[in-house]
Amino acid sequence: MIELGRTIDAAINGGVLALDHAISGAALPGVVELVPTYRSLLVHYDPLVVGFDELEAELRRVVERGPSGAGGAGWVGGSGPETGSAASDALVEIPVVYGGEAGLDLADVARHAGLSDDEVVRRHAAGRYQVAMIGFAPGFPYLMGMDPAIACPRLETPRVRVPAGSVAIADTQTGIYPFAMPGGWRVIGRTDVRLFDPSSDPPARLRPGMRVRFMPVDPGAPSPAGSIDERPSPTPRSHRRSIRMLDPGFLATVQDRGRWGHQRFGVPPSGAADPVALRIGNRALGNAPAAAAIEIAAGGATFEFLAPCAFALTGAIAEATLDGRAVSFGTALSAPAGAVLRLGRPSIGLRTYLSVGGGLDVPSVLGSRSTYLPGGFGGLEGRPLRTGDVLGTGASDEDARGRGARARSSPSADGPPVGEMARGGATELPFVPGGQWEDFAEEDRQAFVTRQWNVSHHADRVGLRLEGQPLLIAGRAVRFVSDGTVTGAIQVAGDGRPIVLLVDRQTTGGYPKIGAVASAALHVLGQLAPGDGVRFRTMSVAEAQVALRSSQLDPGPAWET
């Protein structure tokens, strides 16, 4: 993480965008993608291509050269791909219906500010905003430039559902919700402008550095082109080979190795929560490592093969039968047409993967077939699989099968993650202290690594909330500004309890981070179930990279150390 300072203003953010532009232009080996935020730039890189120390040295050389190669001067307020360009000179106008059902918190904001509702609207619409960053959700813009007189704290209890298009305030920030989702910002209005379209390039309507103006409109005004209710219809697909979902169990989705290169637009990587199990299944079948499979959480699923099909089960071990006969895990098997595969509840672990010969054939969205449930895209219509769904198998010989690969046995029962998970005890997770580690009191740092934590029932593909005796941070303030997050980042909320982020995480976050789970152990996170115990032990960056290399795990497009 490269930080330019802790003051949030246009000059600092302009420096971030300039640095983003410079590093992008340097085309450094191993750098996968960059995520600009208010005051820092997150660099995602592949540690099997470049080591941390080597990359840090290269990045320092870029910083020292400065935006114009002049001795490192000028990053604060420098120009980048958006600032000082035609993109930032263009003013994007957003029509907004303020108040009423569209702005449920407008009156509360007005009372807090000691102003009338109309004056809050006037001041909000009079602002000239700049997009500082995109995060929290795909296409969600964090806007700088709001009149501080109408600043208002977040809701004490976040709403379970904030409508799509809601224009909202949080402290001195304003932003727009691109989807219906939970949120704690104060909603003062709503727009019909569609902010995110996964079929577009780029997918986000707004980008860092752009300028925005809100235009008050009356309720019932015509929706602009590209409004949020205009969604493309899925393209029908026909297949010679397919599999039918008879019972999806608790939750089943299509996942591959994830989508990379779009986190600057708020799009998380998604993909298999246990990428090692996915790799083992694809390897057993001779598929390419990125072939899509079905991820089944908590088992209990039933499938019917509508045509002869090779398949493999990996990940969380459960009783499985094909037409009533027990089948093994981690090896290629054959199913005749009409065969029924039943999967029981896992005895250890949480997620089982059903891989098929050639992979699953669903549309690729932003370079991946993975389902991203919060955004409603990828996989099969962006949703969980349902009874009666039919999925094509054998995506194509070009993109779903490895060249010259042959099916082989991969004994997942003896390898990760099952072999690394404690049976009845606490699973040990190595983590690299980082983020705001030094901002935590010494007693909190010691307590974090000495206590056992338990996965709560508030756990999903976005993150694992941990239960246990809270850290003392609950009683003291830790100053922190939203910045980039990685899979495995360990945030500590205001209640003093950790949250470990998973593959559907937000790309930026506002809670302080005490560290991040080492890359070599990320697949274990995807197998932790509610009630499981975990303990953390510290590991240096160098040790984390050695662990990843010695594990011989295939990191895919990028792993984050």
Q: Return the pLDDT at 118.
A: 97
Specify burial of residue 377 (Cβ count, 10 A radius: 0-12, 13-18, 19+): buried
Residues 214, 125 contacting (CB under 8 angstroms): yes
Task: List 252's β-bridge partners, or say none.
Answer: 296
| CATH number attached to the domain at 93-216 | 2.40.100.10
pLDDT in tens, 392-431: 998 644 443 443 334 444 444 334 444 455 555 799 999 9
Residues 2, 41 contacting (CB under 8 angstroms): yes
Q: Is the peptide bond before 417 cis (omega within 30 degrees of 0)?
A: yes
Q: Return the pLDDT at 89.
A: 58
Residues 6+ apart with CB under 8 A from 253: 294, 295, 371, 373, 379, 384, 385
Q: What is the DSSP letter of 171?
A: B
Residues 385, 248 contacting (CB under 8 angstroms): yes
Residues 281, 274 contacting (CB under 8 angstroms): no
Q: Look at the block and give the residue holding tokens 């949020």.
A: 228
Q: Can you name the CATH fold of 421-551?
A: Cyclophilin (2.40.100)
Residues in the chain where the model's pLDDT stays below 50: 1-8, 72, 79-86, 230-233, 236, 396-419, 556, 558-561
pTM strictly above 0.85: yes
Domains 93-216 and 421-551 share a fold: yes
Q: Locate 172 and state its tokens.
A: 């001195």
Q: Tally Cβ neighbours within 10 Å of residue 414.
A: 9
Q: Return the pLDDT at 481.
A: 72
Q: Return the pLDDT at 405.
A: 37
Q: Strand, helix or coil at 376?
A: coil
Q: Return the pLDDT at 486.
A: 94
Q: Which of 93, 43, 86, 87 is nearest to 63 (CA)?
A: 43
Residues in the chain: 561
Indicate the domain borders of the chain.
2-65, 93-216, 242-418, 421-551
Q: Return the pLDDT at 560.
A: 43
pLDDT in tens, 146-171: 999 999 998 877 888 999 999 999 99
Residues 505, 485 contacting (CB under 8 angstroms): yes
Q: Can you name the CATH fold of 2-65?
A: Gyrase A; domain 2 (3.30.1360)
pLDDT in tens, 456-513: 998 999 999 999 999 987 555 566 678 899 999 999 987 889 999 999 999 998 888 9
The DSSP element (H or E) to which 509 belongs, if any, is strand 508-509
